[in-house]
Amino acid sequence: MNNKTQHTVALVTGASRGIGAAIAQRLARDGFTVVINYAGSAAEAEALANRIEAAGGRALTAQADVADSAAVARMFDAAEAAFGGVDVLVNNAGIMKLAPLAESDDALFDRQVAINLKGSFNTLREAGRRLRNGGRIVNLSSSVVGLYQPGYAVYAATKAGVEAMTHVMAKELRGRNITINTVAPGPTATALFLDGKPQEVVERLAKLAPLERLGQPEDIAAAVAFLAGPDGAWINGQTLRANGGII
Residues with a catalytic annotation lie at 155
What is the footprint of ligand NDP within residues 122-181 (CB under 6 A)? 140, 142
Binder of ligand NDP out of 11, 20, 182, 225 (CB under 6 A)? 20
Find the angle CA(17)-CA(180)-CA(30) to the nearest 5 degrees: 50
Among 81, 191, 210, 234, binds ligand NDP (CB under 6 A): 191
**Closer residue to ligand NDP (CB): 3 or 65:** 65
25 binds ligand NDP (CB under 6 A): no
Length of the chain: 247
Given 89, 115, 117, 240, the residue binding ligand NDP (CB under 6 A)? 115
Under 8 Å CB-to-CB from 131, ≥6 apart: which residues?
Answer: 86, 87, 88, 89, 137, 176, 178
Under the binding rule (CB under 6 A), the answer on residue 185 touching ligand NDP is yes
245 touching ligand NDP, by CB under 6 A:
no
Beta strand pairing call for 179-185 and 88-91: unpaired
Q: Is 78 in the site for ligand NDP (CB under 6 A)?
A: no
Specify the residue, 4 or 98, whose C-beta has the smaller distance to ligand NDP. 98
Identify which range of 38-46, 48-56, 78-86, 164-172 contacts ligand NDP by CB under 6 A.
Answer: 38-46
**Of 4 and 157, which has the nearer Cβ to ligand NDP?**
157
Among 83, 121, 152, 193, binds ligand NDP (CB under 6 A): 193
Contacts to ligand NDP by CB under 6 A: 13-20, 37-41, 65-67, 92-96, 115, 119, 140, 142, 185, 187-188, 190-193
